[in-house]
């Protein structure tokens, strides 16, 4: 009985090790596919141009970066632009993100005004 329990524990440990290796490998694949996605998004020229409006400066630094990224790459679809911008944002260091953080700090706070019923 005790030997069966030991064997079960050994098998579960092996399974856990294999699963952790699988997660590490899938993370590496995910990183390389993200880089490939950014490169593919930059290379797509045949996407029809969408109507594009420049948004307001927000209190979120990433949205400020996304607004600028979309103005520079307006040939991308909204989804492709967001994915590419997200991958680039994650790879940026703190010094590169600083201008967008300053814009976010200086952005006005918008408050919703509700009608009194």
59 by DSSP, 3-state: which?
Answer: coil
- Alpha-carbon span 42 to 36, nearest angstrom: 10
Q: Retrieve residue 114's tokens.
A: 């509700």
Question: Cα separations (Å) of 77 from 35, 47, 56, 105?
Answer: 18, 7, 20, 29
pLDDT of the residue at 24: 66
Share the mean pLDDT of the chain: 78
pLDDT of the residue at 44: 58
* pLDDT, greater one: 23 or 73: 73
* pLDDT, greater one: 91 or 22: 91
Q: What is the pTM of this model?
A: 0.52
Q: Retrieve residue 58's tokens.
A: 């927000």
pLDDT of the residue at 93: 93
- Alpha-carbon span 81 to 61, nearest angstrom: 16
């Amino acid at each position: 009985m005790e030997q069966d329990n030991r064997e079960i524990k050994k098998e579960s440990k092996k399974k856990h090790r294999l699963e952790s290796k699988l997660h590490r490998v899938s993370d590496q694949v995910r990183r390389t596919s993200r880089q490939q996605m950014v490169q593919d998004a930059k290379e797509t020229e045949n996407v029809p141009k969408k109507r594009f409006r420049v948004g307001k400066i927000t209190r979120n630094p990433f949205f400020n970066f996304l607004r600028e990224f979309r103005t520079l790459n307006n040939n991308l679809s909204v989804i492709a632009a967001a994915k590419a911008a997200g991958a680039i944002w994650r790879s940026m260091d703190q010094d590169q993100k600083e201008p967008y953080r300053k814009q976010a700090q200086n952005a006005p706070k918008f408050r919703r005004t509700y009608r009194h019923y």
